[in-house]
Amino acid sequence: MSFGKELIQSANEALEIARGNAEPAAVYVPETVDVAAIRRQQGLTRSAFAERYGLAESTIRDWEQNRRSPDRAAVLLLKVIERHPDIVAQAVRA
């Protein structure tokens, strides 16, 4: 099937789901992490947290203020930062 046909089929499926005529095959519910709590636990400002882990300060702010949510890779990184902050900091500096 060509990309165009797949796109049209996907759009039609989405429309049927939105109308309540079909159920989605799978629903991805992203995990949430409390970025501010992780940062405060380490006693770091947003700027220091961002610098230590190679992240943009604006990204940290957006996550903390719920303007954006971390994607799956970022959630995993934040979980590792929460449990092993020194190892992540060393890896970022390497």
Whole-angstrom distance, CA of residue 89 vs CA of residue 56:
15
Superfamily per CATH, domain 35-93: lambda repressor-like DNA-binding domains (1.10.260.40)
Predicted confidence at residue 94, as pLDDT, reads: 78
Q: What is the mean pLDDT of the chain?
A: 92
pLDDT digits (tens, 9 = 90+) for 49-78: 999 999 999 999 999 999 999 998 999 999
pLDDT digits (tens, 9 = 90+) for 24-33: 887 767 678 9
Residue that has been written with the tokens 């165009």 in this structure: 4
Q: Which helix (H) or strand (E) holds 81?
A: helix 72-83
pLDDT: which is higher, 3 or 39: 39
DSSP code per residue over 31-69: ----HHHHHHHTT--HHHHHHHHT--HHHHHHHHTTSS-
| 3-state SS, residue 18 | helix
Specify the DSSP class assigned to residue 7. Answer: H
Whole-angstrom distance, CA of residue 87 vs CA of residue 91:
6
- For the residues 31-60, what does the mean pLDDT come to? 96
- For the residues 79-90, what does the mean pLDDT come to? 96
